[in-house]
Amino acid sequence: MELTTEDYMNMSKRLEEVRHEIGQFIVGQKEAVEFSIYCVLADGHALLEGLPGLGKTMLIRTISEVLDLSFSRIQFTPDLMPSDITGTSMIERLENGKQQFNFQKGPIFSQMVLADEINRATPKTQSALLEAMGEKTVTVLGETKQMDRPFFVLATQNPIEMEGTYPLPEAQMDRFLCKIIVSYPTKEELMEISKRTTGSQIIELSKIMNAQDIVTAQQMVKEVLIADDMLEYAVDIIAATHPESSVVSEVQQYVQYGSGPRGLQSLIKLAKARALVAGRYHVSIADIKTVVKPVLRHRLLLNYEGEAEGKSADDLIEIILQTVKQGQNV
């Protein structure tokens, strides 16, 4: 794929139009919007965490509309079964009186899937997403079916309501490219939200890109260059999350498990996506530093001491960034 500087600048302009169009409906939430777009460009999945009523569901629905992608919403509940997600084979009576099994696709067969309150379902049901998220296939009764491309899972969870919830398994958490914290709006943003949602004005969103445009953008992300020293810096950051070999004393003291290879892959992918949005075809150190927290905050498992002392993954990642310098061997 022969790409020029002009190609990257043109794609950057298209993506800026996407951000602007989303902003016509979504008030504030700049970081959530940006990282959701990065995840789409990096061909990955995102976990959005925030209090109820902050517009997580509306954000995902708006992105799917602006990108012209098929959208489905799965409300996770304790009684939800895996077949409610993947679909099931039904007996269908033919005109000649015979019967045959016919597969009825579940809501997972959309290009953008909203897994709402994912931590409310049992681990068995949560695991129904693992194959789709990892291999982009679904196996039902021994038959493997391909997902449409592009395919994204954007899941939401409530950080404060623990009754009737099930913690996401580490294996599933690791499949999310990043974890996005949806922050509480400012006073000015609350006023704007009120004006937009309680009046009679209806906002019509334009479709800025389509599925083929996204596939093209994803290929452009893969073509973004990363210098060896930038790659080494990213590797050093990942290595610093491991308590047995970290140069950061706080990590040694408070972390039980650090990030695996998928964390490094996610870090590089998101850094490349950020570079593309900026119209560049090479990764900068700012790209890596900007995406580190969303990439690693759900991949650091604190030990008992860390939990007891109220340490957060974000605090430890900040210390890692202050300790690990570019060009420094860890």
> What three-state secondary structure class fits 100?
strand
The segments of the chain whose pLDDT lies below 70 read 1-3, 53-54, 97, 159-165, 197, 199-201, 326-330
Residue 217 inside a domain? The answer is no
Residue 145 inside a domain? The answer is yes
Residue 48 inside a domain? The answer is yes
Which residue spans within 39-160 are E strands per DSSP? 46-49, 71-75, 87-93, 99-105, 112-116, 137-140, 143-146, 152-157
Give the long-range contacts of residues 18-26, CB within 8 A, separation 24 or more: 18/66, 18/67, 18/208, 18/209, 21/66, 21/205, 21/206, 21/208, 22/59, 22/62, 22/63, 22/66, 24/203, 24/205, 25/58, 25/62, 25/196, 25/203, 25/205, 26/55, 26/58, 26/59, 26/62
What pLDDT is attached to residue 271?
92
Q: Are both 278 and 194 inside the same structural domain?
A: no
What pLDDT is attached to residue 161?
56
Q: Are both 199 and 232 inside the same structural domain?
A: no
Q: Are both 187 and 56 inside the same structural domain?
A: yes
What pLDDT is attached to residue 160?
61
Q: Are both 181 and 247 inside the same structural domain?
A: no
> What three-state secondary structure class fits 36?
helix
Residue 306 inside a domain? The answer is yes
Q: How far is CA 56 from the centre of its chain?
A: 12
In the block, residue with structure tokens 């030990």: 303
Residue 329 inside a domain? The answer is no
Q: Are both 163 and 255 inside the same structural domain?
A: no
What pLDDT is attached to residue 199?
64
Residue 328 inside a domain? The answer is no
Those residues whose C-beta lies under 8 Å from the C-beta of residue 200, and which sit 6 or more positions away, are none
Cα–Cα distance, 198 to 28 (Å, whole number): 17
Q: Are both 74 and 118 inside the same structural domain?
A: yes
**CATH code assigned at 78:** 3.40.50.300
**CATH code assigned at 244:** 1.10.8.80
Q: Are both 162 and 50 inside the same structural domain?
A: yes
Residue 13 inside a domain? The answer is yes
Q: Are both 192 and 303 inside the same structural domain?
A: no
Q: Is 325 left (phi over 0), alpha (psi -120 to 50) or beta?
A: beta
Beta bridge partner(s), residue 180: 48
What pLDDT is attached to residue 330?
43
Tokens (6 digits) for 31: 């970081």
Q: Are both 13 and 151 inside the same structural domain?
A: yes
Residue 236 inside a domain? The answer is yes
Q: For residue 179, give its domain range.
A: 5-212
Q: Are both 264 and 174 inside the same structural domain?
A: no
Cα–Cα distance, 298 to 251 (Å, whole number): 15
- Burial string for 101-112 (b: 16+ CB within 10 Å, else e) reads eeeeebbbbbbb
Edge-to-edge strand list for the sheet holding 46-49? 71-75, 112-116, 152-157, 46-49, 178-181
Boundary-marking domain end, from 171, 189, 212: 212
Q: 150 and 157 in contact (C-beta within 8 Å)?
A: no
Number of structural domains (the chain) is 2
Boundary-marking domain end, from 161, 179, 212: 212
Q: How far is CA 205 from the centre of its chain?
A: 23
Boundary-marking domain end, from 212, 234, 262: 212
Q: Are both 82 and 228 inside the same structural domain?
A: no
pLDDT tens digits for 124-141? 777 777 777 877 888 777
pTM value is 0.83
Q: Are both 257 and 182 inside the same structural domain?
A: no
